[in-house]
DNA sequence: CACGCAATAT
DNA sequence: TATATTGCGT
């Protein structure tokens, strides 16, 4: 009576550990995350440079935030679209030389409105987040959570909480969930897996065999053996520092449309980061 | 208020 | 195209 708890616990830990990148996989915070070409391609100011002091301070901040529960500083990184303006890159790839500095024009307009570009740690209020990009990794997390919750209990709020990806809102999940449900419905017409060429994302993600239904009172089957009464079946591994890719142009160097394995592979955020900076 | 879904907007 | 937003019924 209750011996299952132990097993499930260790299993959870194992799964959790598997999901974690090793120290070698993680790019140290003190390193420039974005290659110069990428940075310039995306109009990201090269001010990603951080000294060890900065990193240290950020770490302390995070730790205190975790320990104290309420940290206070919430650094939501985002790339703000000026308007409907497009920027062109006159030149890129400067042959030799590690230093290709490109300073953005400094606006001296401190009039009234029309200045919302600077956002560091100030209260993120009424600020618009960039579109969330559902990478295969994010989608996998999503599918996993939905599968573990059971379609019945998979509601946006819960999914959002279990995914534990900062920057993600309930609306983000709701929107994606809606599309996901449509995809599932479409697919059920076919007896077996018939990955349509459309919906690359969904097609490339293994859908849980059958949409489990738990907590419906009828546990007579016996297939799903892990029905816990806890409201939260499985809190997801705290993302190392995985930020939802926000504001990334879609025409980046995407691979053929196949999954990537590494969390650290192909992940680069504009600038600034919020490790578990709860909302 | 949160949810689900269709329609619409960006 | 992929997401976001909105509107409406529940």
pLDDT digits (tens, 9 = 90+) for A148-179: 888 888 999 999 999 988 889 999 999 999 99
* Residues of chain A above pLDDT 70, percent: 26
Which bases along strand C come within 7 Å of a protein CB atom? Answer: 1-6
CA–C1' A195–C1 (A): 18
CATH classification of A136-187, choosing from 2.60.120.430, 1.10.10.60, 3.90.1300.10, 3.40.50.10710? 1.10.10.60
Distance, CA of A174 to C1' of B5, in Å:
11
**Closest nt to residue A129, judged CA to C1':** C4
Looking at the whole model, is its pTM more than 0.85? no
Nearest nucleotide to the CA of A170, by C1', is B2
- Per-residue pLDDT, A142: 93
| Sequence-distant (≥ 6) Cβ neighbours of residue A211 within 8 angstroms | A147, A150, A151, A184
Closest protein residue to B5 using CA and C1' atoms? A178
Asked if pLDDT for residue A242 goes beyond 80, the answer is: no
CA of A67 to C1' of B3 (A): 34
Mean per-residue pLDDT, A222-236:
46
- Report CA(A83)–C1'(C7) in Å, whole number: 26
Strand B nucleotides, any atom under 7 Å from protein beta carbons: they are 2-7
**pLDDT tens per residue across span A66-109:** 454 443 333 333 333 333 333 333 333 333 333 333 333 334 44
**Which residue has the least CA–C1' distance to nucleotide B6?**
A178
pLDDT for residue A190 is more than 80:
no
Note the pLDDT of residue A164: 87
For chain A, give the mean pLDDT.
57
Q: Which whole number is the average pLDDT over A124-135?
A: 79
**With helix as H, strand as E and coil as C, how does A66-108 read?**
HHHCCCCCCCCCCCCCCCCCCCCCCCCCCCCCCCCCCCCCCCC
Give the pLDDT confidence score for residue A139 in this predicted structure: 92
Q: How confident is the model at residue A226 (pLDDT cuts 50, 70, 90)?
A: very low
- Residue A169 has a pLDDT of 93
Kindly state the percentage of chain A with pLDDT values over 90: 12
For nucleic chain B, which protein residues have CB less than 7 Å from any of its atoms? A 154-158, 170, 174, 177-178, 181-182
Tell which wins on pLDDT, A31 or A92: A31
Provide φ and ψ at A10, rounded to 5°: -65, -35
Per-residue pLDDT, averaged over A241-255, amounts to: 49
Span(s) in chain A for CATH 1.10.10.60: 136-187
Higher confidence at residue A221 or residue A245? A245
A173 neighbors A159 (Cβ within 8 angstroms): yes
Closest nucleotide to A153, Cα to C1': B3
């Amino acid at each position: 009576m209750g011996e299952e708890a132990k097993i499930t616990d260790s299993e959870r830990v194992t799964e959790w550990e598997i999901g974690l990148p090793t120290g070698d996989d993680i790019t140290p915070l003190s390193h420039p995350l974005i290659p110069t070409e990428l940075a310039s391609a995306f109009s990201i100011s090269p001010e990603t440079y951080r000294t060890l002091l900065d990193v240290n301070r950020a770490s302390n901040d995070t730790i205190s935030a975790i320990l104290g529960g309420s940290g206070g500083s919430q650094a939501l990184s985002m790339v703000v679209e000026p308007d409907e303006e497009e920027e062109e890159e006159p030149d890129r790839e400067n042959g030799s030389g590690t230093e290709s500095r490109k300073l953005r024009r400094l606006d001296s307009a401190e009039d009234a409105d029309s200045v919302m570009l600077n956002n560091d740690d100030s209260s993120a209020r009424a600020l618009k987040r960039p579109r969330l990009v559902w990478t295969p990794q994010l989608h996998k997390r999503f599918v996993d959570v939905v599968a573990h919750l059971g379609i019945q209990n998979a509601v946006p709020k819960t999914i959002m909480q279990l995914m534990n990806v900062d920057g993600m809102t309930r609306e983000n999940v709701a929107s994606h969930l809606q599309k996901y449900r449509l995809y599932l419905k479409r697919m059920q017409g076919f007896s077996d897996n018939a990955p349509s060429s459309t919906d690359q994302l969904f097609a490339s993600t293994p859908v849980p065999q059958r949409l489990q239904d738990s907590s419906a009172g009828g546990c007579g089957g016996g297939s799903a053996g892990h029905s816990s009464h806890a409201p939260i079946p499985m809190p997801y591994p705290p993302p190392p520092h995985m930020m939802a890719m926000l504001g990334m142009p879609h025409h980046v160097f995407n691979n053929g449309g196949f999954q990537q394995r590494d969390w650290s592979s192909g992940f680069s955020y504009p600038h600034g980061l919020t490790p578990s900076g709860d909302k």
